[in-house]
Structure 1
Amino acid sequence: MAIEEAGQNTQGETPDVEPTVETDEATITEDAELERTIGLTGGLAIGIGTMIGAGIFVFPGLAAGAAGPAAAGSFAIGGLVALLVALPAAELATAMPKSGGGYYFISRGLGTLAGTVVGLSLWFGLVFATAFYLVGFGYYAVDALTLAGVAVGRELVIPLALVLGVGFTVLNVTGTENAAKLQNGVVALLLSILFVFLGFGVLDALGIVGEPTAPTTLVPRGYFPILTTAALVFTSYLGFAQVATVAGEMKRPGRTLPVAMIGSVLVVTVLYVTTIFVATSAFGWERLAAEGETAMVAVGRDLLGQAGALAILLGGLLATMSSANASILSTSRSIYAVSKDALLPTWASRINLRYGTPHVALGLAGGPILALTATGRVQVLAEVASFLHLMMYGLLCVALLVLRRDEPEWYDPDFRTPGYPAVPILGAVASFALVGFMTRLSQVIGLAIMVATAGWYYYYARGVRLRGVL
């Protein structure tokens, strides 16, 4: 791969890559860097906070309807695939602690075409995921209002989701540190609620505080739905990669990135599997499926009465808010990184001097997110997000294999993947294979987005030569 100055486009008009400064609403393009303001706690909060929302509060009813009690196995499979990718991703992140995450790693390992497809697909993948989280928030907000005695219907789900999306976009414009502080507080409160609730739920399921209620049939739907459900719920595991998208803002990235990425996967996988076990044991998978997106509220009420329902409603609101906030932050950093390399017009990487945030990228993230949120299509939003991320994860593992083979002079990671080369090979195979278990509609939408991004490469970015890692 030729190593030249970033943003040099030999096709048609050369993008403006010179620094531009304006004093009021000041912006800086090529030479600007985001400040390193996020520590280990913030990194874990982004990873755990993003993953914990859908997996625990939106998916149990949907997953139980598809796979029965064996949905716990679906979450375990998703966690295993995520771990196989998180280990190579952590190595790449410590070698290239730059904003953009998977895009940056793949573009430097596999070249401009792969980088363009992945970078733009990651943008859309995060947009779909964020819209999914916001719709989940809308469902919980409506249930919370109903429980509080405010008579509202499901028609308010989308308006409430849109209001939250606008609010978080504005919050992220006003400063990464503000968004990170909110994320830390939300995740701490959320984990406290979950540990108390799940602790009681496990004791109840085992009969220590009641009668044992373990499900009598673990696989009522058969074994194939376990894999299709794993493909559906994989959206729950996107958070560890979103830590990498803010690598350029992490303090001491060589130490904090691996712990944040791998630690968040392990913590959340245990919470997912425990949640499905508790929910199917206490409530039964058929009833869980009938409750849909807010099934966990009914589980909370069944275990702890009205106090349990209130706790789950609060947890669901916090979790979906946390996921949406972290995803909006990560979406903007993906756009910022692609634009900074001139694969998108470089004005998209401008940084607001007042707040130190990529305000244009945040606008490009927020608009599509709101448009998709308005559709309210929960399953399609989740699966398309999973599809695009799984393709990125597979290519990320391939990029590690290529970089280890070539060992460029600049490649000096602080963390090395254990079990190399078996781990990245298994990570790539598992990621690509899981795509095959998705619904046809989600596969078609995902492939269409990837084809469109390849078309953008040939139209706009074919002449761009990426710089090395500086």
Structure 2
Amino acid sequence: MKHTAAAGSPTLKKVLGPLHLWALAVGLVISGEYFGWNYGWQVAGPVGFLVATLLITVLYVTFIFSFTELTTAIPHAGGPFAYSYRAFGPLGGFVAGYATLVEFLFAPPAIAAALGSYGHFLYPGLPVLGTALACYVVFISINLLGIKESARFSLLVTLLAVAELVLYMGLVAPHFRVRSFLAHPVPLGAAGVFAALPFAIWFYLAIEGVAMVAEEVENPRKTIPKGYIYGLGTLVLLALGVMVLTGGITDWRRLSGIDYPLPEALGIVLGRQSRWTQFFASIGLFGLVASFHGTIIGYSRQIFALARSGYLPGVLARVNPRFRTPHWALVAGGGVGAAALLTGTTAQVIILSVLGAVVMYAMSLLSLFALRRKEPRLERPFTAPFYPYFPVVALVLTMVSLGAIIYYNWLLSLIFFGGLGLMLGVYLLLGRHRQPLAEDALLAPVEAL
């Protein structure tokens, strides 16, 4: 038995251009500049967290340049799942697919919780959990309307979010003091830096989700590299600017454990009733909305691809005949996210998402090396620069990050790998690994997409 899409069934629609991909790349990630990273201050302080952030920035620069080779050579909605399946077969595809699914299923509830917190900051009568759950309903509905409509919405809110962060940096820069950044130091050492790595990863987490709309991109050979490279450059500048400036305007300990550090920081330096503080908190929702919307696109395409390939129930691979969107995948992922929201543990949900990401990064980089060896003639419209050095640096930093996350979060790691083992056992017992995909299922030649 071979798992293929039903003949004549609706397929995904190819409508995305370079600007859409830039917006999706930045939009997927930009909420990481608004919240989440500040939890890293609790374990490393601003200086140690800056070191962690610089290490992770190097990781993402080298990883994205390497990952783009895979995305353009195999433009498939499954993204990392497809690369690992091609390189290592069904079991490799399963591990990468599981890791990617965890990343994209658990990032949205963390962002939704922050949306609820921002709303509560503005209007104390709004319940955090109720607002977060309502966000799922609204944005799943928007995604059901179609990828082009979703991409236009993503472009609008991403442009607003980038402009807002630039405005924020302009407002707080005059209040930055080096002595505040260096005050109350946490001893600089490997332990603090390693413990802070998951929160530094949150600055860039999910940029690789661009790979999951590869089947909906016009001319992916040229468009995907532009989207990744311009998107990453934008995010590096925003992440470093926001983190450094925020750390030097007040006692950083006041901002290290909340889900709305930026409006709180403005409230401290300008006054909580300042029109700028209120304005920023109001439009601050755009950055969170951009990422929430983008990660919903990401998880739905991953569920769709895994279901289409026989890893998940086939109903999740159905495409709405009118809007050409994977409607059941959108709804199912929303159910998982809503359940995660009910736990009320933002930091732990972030760590689970990051754990899925770094396992997926490792599988993708190993796939890059394997495919270079196994398929030297595979058409590669974009090749990783400075090969093999860039992917080696990315893989080493990925494994260091993975080790640090496991060491400092052993219970969450046990849950993650326990889930992987359980689902892998079911997969093997059902004999799905002996039912390979059709030979051309992962070839995805660009001309055919």
- Scaled by the length of structure 2, the TM-score of the pair is 0.91
Instruction: Describe the superposition over 1:282-329 as per-residue Cα deviations: whole angstroms up to 9, x where unpaired.
Output: 11222222x622222121123444233224313431122111111111
Q: CA deviation at 1:203?
A: 4.1
1:346 aligns with 2:324: no
**Pick from 148, 152, 159: which aligns with 1:181?**
152
Q: CA deviation at 1:456?
A: 3.3
Q: CA deviation at 1:221?
A: 3.7
**Pick from 125, 131, 136: which aligns with 1:165?**
136
1:262 aligns with 2:232: no
**Pick from 65, 68, 90: which aligns with 2:45?**
68
Q: Measured at CA, do residues 386 and 60 of structure 1 come closer, stay the same or move farther in structure 2, by a change above 3 Å?
A: closer
One-letter identity of the residue aligned with 2:420: M
5 Å-filtered alignment, 1:44-443, equals 44-53=22-31, 55-70=32-47, 71-146=49-124, 151-152=125-126, 156-205=127-176, 215-217=181-183, 219-223=185-189, 224-289=191-256, 292-305=258-271, 306-407=274-375, 409=377, 411-438=378-405, 439-443=409-413
Distance 1:77 1:328 in 2: 28
**Pick from 25, 35, 38: which aligns with 2:16?**
38
One-letter identity of the residue aligned with 1:385: S
Instruction: Describe the superposition over 1:63-106 as per-residue Cα deviations: whole angstroms up to 9, x where unpaired.
Output: 22222112233222222212222111100111011212111111
Contact 1:103 1:115 in 2 (8 A): yes
Cα RMSD of the aligned pairs, angstroms, is: 2.0
Contact 1:169 1:362 in 2 (8 A): yes
Q: Measured at CA, do residues 215 and 90 of structure 1 come closer, stay the same or move farther in structure 2, by a change above 3 Å?
A: same
Aligned to 1:19: 7
Instruction: Describe the superposition over 1:159-210 as per-residue Cα deviations: whole angstroms up to 9, x where unpaired.
Output: 110000111112111211221111111011111111122134334426xxxx
Aligned to 2:447: none
Q: How many aligned residue pairs are there?
A: 433
Ranges of 4+ aligned residues in structure 1 off by more than 6 Å: none
Q: Which runs of 5+ in 2 are unaligned?
A: 445-449
Distance 1:459 1:219 in 2: 53
* Secondary structure, counterpart of 2:373 in structure 1: helix
Distance 1:101 1:185 in 2: 25
Instruction: Describe the superposition over 1:257-300 as per-residue Cα deviations: whole angstroms up to 9, x where unpaired.
Output: 112223322221221111111111111222222x6222221211
One-letter identity of the residue aligned with 1:79: T
Distance 1:240 1:6 in 2: 32
Instruction: Describe the superposition over 1:37-74 as per-residue Cα deviations: whole angstroms up to 9, x where unpaired.
Output: 12111111111112110x22212542222221122332
Q: CA deviation at 1:385?
A: 0.5
* Secondary structure, counterpart of 2:21 in structure 1: helix
